[in-house]
A and B are shown apart, each in its own frame.
Chain A
């Protein structure tokens, strides 16, 4: 559905001849009906990637195709298939109502939307009672829903959502997860750029983590979680006071806590086979193993693991 190949984008630094690399030779593919999440810290290049996909930024190198149409060479044909909610709250005209915004944005795409159809979309999103209020008077969550409504009315196959839950309260964020999941069930292909780990955990099918302008991992979400679940272990052992601390620290624990004679440490093991080697090591040190627990992994941990290196 969307193919990004060897995308490179650099910007000239102000008052300098140096160039900053915003996106460094990234490639990925988004399949039909998939929710693909682009994760990364600030400045990782997520927004540049999204803006390149929707033709707002011309990349230095690389190719972007939407449904087989090149964004650079067949801009109009490619853009016919996508609609986008960009970061921030200003995707709509604030002095116009949600219905007027829907009709306007569909109109400038050459599409006619009847008022009844616009109202139906707002009803599905639970904001039909706000249909005739100017966007300015709506809450942030409702404005975001209205922006999604504009995308839905455009009836494109692909939705690009840049930080859709940014600035939303907990309830609105939870509701947004439901909406995104529902859009996917309706057959939409969704590219999500976000910091919101809960959103990624709840809705994404595949995840690409960006760091320092590169994609450091691109995997099925379940595989990524399983991978980390298999690797994360928490050990609780009783110290025997024979200088075992140095030897245990040589195992490179990700965290370490000693409380009296109880030592608690976390290890990331590449495969479960290594677990037995660690047990052997602990036995060799004559440490009494209290508990070994497999850690429950959340996306935050995975994200930090990939982006902190």
Chain B
């Protein structure tokens, strides 16, 4: 199992380097969009006294959203690409279950995304004259909790992709829908159970109020991990249903 994890991790790194243009242009796009949002908000808020807090929240919210979409899109696009390339069936023939292979890839993507997104976030803040001053461990803790929701959504999308193959429109809908979950402040428990909503909510507490992992009430931790577990378990269940369907219909490797 550990060997499979290492193999998937190495493959993730190799492909990140080989598809360097795609990797670099992805991060350039992230920065360009960030500046568009930043200057858009700045032109609307002007010299409002709460602008500083708002923009810190936006920076964190934006990067939280990016982590979310990178994670769930990584799984869904990964399956679509593998089906297109024809390698999906080869991965399925491994005696180690495909869910585990996906899990390894998700962790790889998460590590790569964190390693690039956090410096990018500081760079974005620096170039816009902001100074982010918050606890990195709390940030990572929230990213892990939040990304687990994305994993669940990603597995659902991946399962759908196994059967229906072309789901790019659906991915885009979920991508824009997720903007609402990560940017809006959840008011009640049901809103907090929306994917990434609780993580984003706590992230704003971190960015604006300087809260640390130990300062969050226990109930907030419970909601964070409750939502994460709910999405991961649902994701695995739905993925298995679609996986079985693809094997019954013989559409696993077709595109």
Residue in A9, A86, A94, A110 whose CB lies within 8 Å of B96: A110
The segment from B108-116, B129-137, B246-254 found at the interface with A is B246-254
Which residues between 86 and 107 of chain B lie within 8 Å of chain A, taking CB atoms?
Answer: 86-87, 89-97, 101
Q: Does A84 contact B (CB under 8 A)?
A: yes
Given A84-B93, A108-B94, are A91 and B3 also a contact pair (CB < 8 Å)? no
Top-8 shortest CB links A-B: A107-B7, A90-B86, A79-B95, A95-B18, A76-B95, A80-B95, A58-B247, A108-B94
Most chain B beta-carbon contacts within 10 A, residue among A12, A88, A105, A106? A105
Pairwise interchain contact A56-B86, C-beta atoms closer than 8 A: no
Given A77-B95, A84-B93, are A103 and B250 also a contact pair (CB < 8 Å)? no
CA separation between A235 and B88, bound complex, in Å?
55
**Which A positions have Cβ atoms within 8 angstroms of B?**
9, 11-12, 22, 48, 51, 54-58, 75-77, 79-80, 82-84, 86, 88-96, 100, 103-112, 134
**Which B positions have Cβ atoms within 8 angstroms of A?**
1, 3-4, 6-8, 10-11, 14-15, 18-19, 85-87, 89-97, 101, 244, 247-250, 252-253
Nearest A residue to B1 via CB reads: A110
CA separation between A112 and B10, bound complex, in Å?
13
Given A11-B250, A93-B85, are A110 and B11 also a contact pair (CB < 8 Å)? no
Pairwise interchain contact A107-B87, C-beta atoms closer than 8 A: no
Given A103-B10, A109-B94, are A91 and B252 also a contact pair (CB < 8 Å)? no
What are 19 A-B contacts with C-beta separation under 8 Å?
A: A12-B249, A48-B250, A51-B250, A54-B93, A55-B92, A55-B247, A56-B89, A83-B93, A86-B90, A88-B86, A90-B85, A90-B87, A92-B87, A93-B15, A95-B14, A96-B11, A109-B94, A109-B95, A112-B3
Pairwise interchain contact A56-B91, C-beta atoms closer than 8 A: no
Pairwise interchain contact B249-A11, C-beta atoms closer than 8 A: yes
Given A56-B247, A56-B253, A109-B96, are A95 and B4 also a contact pair (CB < 8 Å)? no
Instruction: Give the residues in chain B near A86, CB-CB below 8 Å.
Output: 86, 89-90, 253
Instruction: Give the residues in chain A near B253, CB-CB below 8 Å.
Output: 56, 86
Instruction: Give the residues in chain A near B19, CB-CB below 8 Å.
Output: 95
CA separation between A84 and B8, bound complex, in Å?
20
Pairwise interchain contact A96-B15, C-beta atoms closer than 8 A: yes
Closest chain B CB from A269 CB (angstroms): 42
CA separation between A107 and B7, bound complex, in Å?
5
Instruction: Give the residues in chain A near B94, CB-CB below 8 Å.
Output: 79, 105, 108-109
Closest chain B CB from A153 CB (angstroms): 12
Pairwise interchain contact A110-B95, C-beta atoms closer than 8 A: yes
Instruction: Give the residues in chain B near A106, CB-CB below 8 Å.
Output: 7
Nearest B residue to A54 via CB reads: B93
CA separation between A111 and B249, bound complex, in Å?
31
Pairwise interchain contact B18-A55, C-beta atoms closer than 8 A: no
Nearest B residue to A136 via CB reads: B18
CA separation between A103 and B9, bound complex, in Å?
12
Pairwise interchain contact A58-B10, C-beta atoms closer than 8 A: no
CA separation between A11 and B248, bound complex, in Å?
8
Pairwise interchain contact B11-A82, C-beta atoms closer than 8 A: no
Instruction: Give the residues in chain B near A90, CB-CB below 8 Å.
Output: 85-87
Most chain A beta-carbon contacts within 10 A, residue among B3, B7, B14, B248? B7
Pairwise interchain contact B247-A107, C-beta atoms closer than 8 A: no
Pairwise interchain contact A56-B92, C-beta atoms closer than 8 A: yes
CA separation between A12 and B94, bound complex, in Å?
28
Most chain B beta-carbon contacts within 10 A, residue among A9, A80, A90? A90
Pairwise interchain contact A100-B97, C-beta atoms closer than 8 A: no
Given A108-B96, A110-B3, A112-B3, are A91 and B90 also a contact pair (CB < 8 Å)? yes
Known: A55-B247, A56-B92. 12 other contacts (CB 8 A): A11-B249, A56-B247, A86-B90, A89-B86, A91-B90, A92-B90, A95-B15, A100-B10, A100-B11, A104-B7, A105-B94, A108-B101
Pairwise interchain contact A108-B1, C-beta atoms closer than 8 A: no
Given A95-B18, A108-B94, A111-B3, are A56 and B252 also a contact pair (CB < 8 Å)? yes
CA separation between A55 and B86, bound complex, in Å?
16
CA separation between A104 and B90, bound complex, in Å?
11
Closest chain B CB from A55 CB (angstroms): 7
CA separation between A82 and B93, bound complex, in Å?
8
Given A79-B93, A96-B15, are A58 and B86 also a contact pair (CB < 8 Å)? no
Instruction: Give the residues in chain A near B11, CB-CB below 8 Å.
Output: 93, 96, 100, 104
Instruction: Give the residues in chain A near B90, CB-CB below 8 Å.
Output: 84, 86, 91-92, 105
CA separation between A277 and B240, bound complex, in Å?
65
CA separation between A89 and B18, bound complex, in Å?
20
Nearest A residue to B6 via CB reads: A107
Instruction: Give the residues in chain A near B7, CB-CB below 8 Å.
Output: 103-104, 106-108
Instruction: Give the residues in chain A near B14, CB-CB below 8 Å.
Output: 95-96, 100
Closest chain A CB from B218 CB (angstroms): 39
CA separation between A90 and B93, bound complex, in Å?
14
Most chain B beta-carbon contacts within 10 A, residue among A9, A58, A77, A134? A58
Pairwise interchain contact A91-B87, C-beta atoms closer than 8 A: yes
Instruction: Give the residues in chain B near A57, CB-CB below 8 Å.
Output: 247-248, 250, 252
